[in-house]
Structure 1
C-alpha cells in the first residue's frame, strides 16, 4: 500500500485517490478504491466514479474548472496551502495524478505512471500536462480547460503529510525505494505509537528527540540478542520511522514514552527476525547449543 507504480494503464484513478488519502492519514489500498470506482480497461475511471469512491472514505471530490492558467494555479495553490491534496486529470484527460504540495514554482506530485512515484515538477511542465484543449467545442479555437478535484475530508484530520520538495527528493533516491514501497506500513505502526501534536500533551517529544535518547539502546540490544544483524541496518530502519513520523508531525506524549520504547523494541525485533531470520529457541533441538553459545557471549561481555 505504499508508493509504487500502477501495474496497468487504467488504474491511475484509484492510485491517485489512494495517494491523496494517505496524505490525509487515511490508510487504504488501490484495490479497495477500485472495487468502488470500477475502472475500465479501456476508459479508466472518470471523476464521477472517483467521487463516489471518495465518499466511501468520508471525503468529497468536487469538480472545479478554470479557463485561465494563472487562475487555475491560484486555485490549486490555495487548496495546497490548506493541506488539501488535489487530483488533476492530465495528458489530454488520459491520466490522474495527485498534487500534494508546492514551493515557489515547484509542485510535489504523486504520479503512478512514474517510478519513483514522487516527483517534483516545475509549473510550466505541470501546466502543459494539465491543459486540455476542447476541440469538440470549437475546432478552430478550442478553449483551454483546467479541471481540479480537491479531496475534501468530511472528518477532522489529525495529521497530514507535509511532502516538501526536499522530502520528495529524499524519497526518490534509489536507496530509499523500500521506504517508499512500505510507506503505509510505517505510518500504520506509527499512528499506534505516536499521537498528533496537541496542547493537551505536556512534555511531548518528536521522534527525532525520542531516538536521540533511545536509539543506542535499541540498536545495541537488538544486535546483541540476534547476533547476525548489523547496527547500520537497524539504524536505517529507525531513520525510516523518524522520517515518516516527522513528515506527519507525529509526537510521543511524555506519559507514553515507556510504552513507545517497548513498542519500538518489538517492531525492530520483528523486523530483524523477518529480514535476517531466526532459528529455533527454547525447547527445540538446537536449544542446548544455543544456550552454550549465548552463555559464552554473555561472559565475554563482562
Structure 2
C-alpha cells in the first residue's frame, strides 16, 4: 500500500492550503494527486506560503492552466464564478483578506460547494452571501473591493468525471455521516493509493461495491477476530464510508490489483481497531 517571484497573494498562515485547494480542483478534472507532491511542484514553503504564481506553476505541470481573473463588483464576480462552474470548471478563490485558498467545485440551487482545508468538515455549503463575505478583499489603497478567482482549465480531455453534487454535500451534513465528513480527506487520500479513476478506456476492473460484496465479510471477520474489540457492524460501516467516497469520485479497482487492495483494506481495518481500542504487545 503506497502511503505515501512574489505574487500578490502570499499566504503564510497555513502554507499547505494552496496545494490542498489545487488538489481538489484537479480532482474535478480526473487528476488525483497528493498535496505533498503538489507542494513540491509549486515550490511552496512554510516561510513564504503559496501564492498564485506557485499554484500556476504546479497547475501547468499537471496539464492545466490557472486563469487569473479580478472583479471589483460583487455581482460581476458572482456571474463570472457561476459561468465557470456551469462549464464544470472548478475555481480557486483567495479568501479571508488574502490569507487563505479554497476551491469552489460546484453550484446548484443558489448554493456553492466549497472545499476548505481549515474547516471541519472540509466540504462546506455556502450561500452567495456567506461566500461573498469571505471572498471580498477591501483594498485600503485603491478603496476598491476586490474579488480574485482562478479557474482551473484543463488542457486535456477529461476521461473521469467525479459526481460531487449539492445532494452529496447535503448527505455529508447528516449526523450519520459526521465521521466521514470530518475525515473526508483521510478517506480520499487512502483510496487514491488503492484505486484508480474509471474512464471509458478502463477494462478489467471491479467497482468498489462489487469488491466489498466479494471480500468484506472475510476482511471484517479476520479483523474482528484478531483484534477482539471492534464489532463487525462498525468495521462494516467503515468500509461503507470508503465505498461512498469511491462512488463520488468513480474510483475502481483494477482486476490485477484486487489482492493488493484486499491487503490494503485489511490493514486499514486493523489500523482502525488498534487506533481506537489500543493493542497489547505481542510476540515479545
TM range (shorter): 0.7 to 0.9
SS in 1 for 2:195: helix
C-alpha deviation, 1:111, in angstroms: 1.6
Separation of aligned partners in 2, 1:246 and 1:130: 31
* Consecutive unaligned residues in structure 2, runs of 5 or more: 5-10
Does 2:259 align with 1:274? Answer: no
> Using the alignment, how far apart are the partners of 1:206 and 1:49 within structure 2?
36
Please list the CA deviations of residues 142-190 of structure 1 after superposition, one character each: whole Å capped at 9, or x if unmatched. 3x33221011233343324333234334556542234432421112212
Corresponding position: 1:58 with 2:63: yes
Equivalence for 1:298? none
Instruction: Select which of 115, 123, 127 maps to 1:118.
Output: 123
Q: Residues 231 and 136 (structure 1 numbering): CA distance in 2 closer, same or farther, change over 3 Å?
A: same
Give the number of the structure whose residues are more often strand, by fraction: 2
In structure 1, C-alpha distance between the alignment counterparts of 2:258 and 2:87, rounded to whole Å: 34
Other-structure match for 2:179? 175
Instruction: Work out whether residues 122 and 184 of structure 2, in 8 Å CA contact, stay in contact via their aligned partners in 1.
Output: no
> How far is 1:88 from its partner?
0.6
Q: Return the alpha-carbon distance in structure 2 between the equivalents of residues 53 and 252 of structure 1.
A: 28
Counterpart Cα distance in 2 of 1:88 and 1:82 = 17
Aligned to 1:247: 248
**Bigger Rg over Cα:** 1
**Distance in 2 between the 1:113 and 1:224 partners?**
34
Unaligned 5+ runs, structure 1: 286-302
1:91 Cα deviation from its structure 2 partner? 2.5
Shift of residue 85, structure 1, vs aligned partner: 1.8
Alignment of 1:149-160 (within 5 A): 149-160=150-161
Query: Residues 16 and 182 (structure 1 numbering): CA distance in 2 closer, same or farther, change over 3 Å?
Result: same
Question: CA offset at residue 197 of structure 1?
Answer: 4.5
Question: What CA distance in whole angstroms lies between the structure 2 residues aligned with 1:25 and 1:102?
Answer: 20
Q: Distance in 2 between matches of 1:46 and 1:197?
A: 33
1:124/1:197 Cα in 2 relative to 1: closer, same or farther (>3 Å)?
same
Q: What is the distance in 1 between the residues matched to 2:209 and 2:224?
A: 23
Question: What are the Cα deviations for residues 44-91 of structure 1, in whole angstroms up to 9, with x where unaligned?
Answer: 432222212222232211102234433322322232233322111122
1:88-237 correspondence runs (5 A):
88-137=93-142, 139=143, 142=144, 144-171=145-172, 173-176=177-180, 177-191=182-196, 195-198=197-200, 206-208=207-209, 211=212, 213-214=213-214, 217-218=217-218, 222=222, 226=226, 228=228, 229-237=230-238
Alpha-carbon separation, structure 2, partners of 1:132 and 1:220: 51
Structure 1 pair 7–22 and aligned structure 2 pair: CA distance change class (3 A): farther
